[in-house]
Amino acid sequence: MPEPVNSVVIEDLVKRFGNFVAVDRVNLSVRKGEVFGFLGPNGAGKSTTIRMLCGLLRPTTGRALVAGYDVARKPEDVRQNIGYMSQKFSLYNDLKVIENLRLFAGLYSVPAKELRERIHWALEMANLKGRENLMTATLPGGWKQRLALGCAVLHRPPIIFLDEPTSGVDPISRRQFWDLIHQMAHEGVTVFVTTHYMEEAEYCNRLALIFRGKIVALGTPTELKRDSMKGELLLIECEPLGEALEALQSAPDVMDAAVFGNALHLVVPDAAIAAPRMQEFLAGRGVRVRHIDRIRPSLEDVFVSLTTTRGARQESKS
């Protein structure tokens, strides 16, 4: 079979559980060697989509090809060509590091003549050389994470699916983990990763934002920040913050308002026109404005804007 240009192709993919639609007509493709991020809140449909792509869950309708294989018709062929790391570590805590590696090598049918070299490579990649005999249960979270990745890629698959792999891991370990991801992508491996950490999304080549089972935006991080928000963004530092937020919900020309740290972010049609109006509006309600300025949106701003607008629209219809 010739090597496909796209490692993953999804066409009108749907997954229903009874009357609940978990994944709703998703369409996208992922190129070979790409780090592709699937971004969304808990319950958005990220993990359900990944399980279908890994051949672990049968689609209700639609089609998905992974490494050129149809996930519904040839799930075994799909699983032979992917690595999968779930959001909950799949390691056996009562085994040593080396024992976990040998176990997963057997599960992935790593040839006996290649076993020693593959395990050595996984230990080096995960920075666990010399720690082979430690009990897995005693490893810090970041080390467990790297070991789980090593186990998932022992058979050197062309595609890796990582389902919220850094959940609950400290920021330094998260950054080290992403260094490994980019190293593998540089070597031609396709990485499909789900996350709800906005700062991690910046590390991806492209992103799909999913909300309530639907793709609401698709593009590079730069494209999403530049093109996806309808309106411009104002930062307002003021006090009291809670009263200001409540007042701005009904202010004219405010399309959206949310708390970001110790400030407010407002989506407005025209920042230059809105800034003095917002200052006057808040002052008239006893809110002291310390600073107001137009800023560039972050991915979090984009996602909040897209999901709150769509959420409000869907709720108004129901």
Same domain, 44 and 75: yes
Clarify whether residues 220 and 238 are in a common domain: no
Domain count of the chain?
Answer: 2
pTM, two decimals, is 0.85
Percent of the chain with pLDDT over 70: 94
Give which of 194, 200, 165, 13 is closest to 89, Cα–Cα. 165
Task: Tell me the backbone φ, ψ of residue 24, rounded to 5 degrees.
Answer: -125, 95
* Nearest residue to 162 (alpha-carbon basis) of 172, 152, 175: 152
Q: Please check whether residue 180 is in contact with residue 83, taking contact to mean a CB–CB distance below 8 angstroms.
A: no
Domain that holds residue 279: 230-296
* 99 and 185 share one domain: yes
Q: Are residues 190 and 91 in the same domain?
A: yes
Task: State how far the Cα of 77 lies from the Cα of 86, in Å rounded to an integer.
Answer: 19
Rounded to 5°, angle at Cα 194 from 193 and 199: 95
Q: Is residue 78 part of a domain?
A: yes
For the stretch 50-102, pLDDT in tens is 999 999 999 999 999 999 999 999 999 999 899 998 866 678 999 999 999 99
pLDDT exceeds cutoff 90 at 49: yes
Q: What is the pLDDT of residues 123-138, one digit of tens each?
A: 988 889 999 999 999 9
All residues at 6 or more sequence positions from 224 whose CB lies less than 8 Å from its CB, including other chains? 207, 209, 217, 299, 302
> Residue 310 falls within a domain, yes or no?
no
**Domain presence at residue 89:** yes
Each residue's pLDDT tens digit, 228-273: 888 899 999 999 999 999 999 889 889 889 898 899 999 999 999 9
Examine the domain organization and report whether 163 and 236 are in the same domain: no
**What is the number of helices (H) and of strands (E) in the chain?**
11, 14
- 198 with 253, same domain: the answer is no
pLDDT tens column, 262-288:
999 999 999 999 999 999 999 999 999
Q: Is residue 312 in some structural domain?
A: no
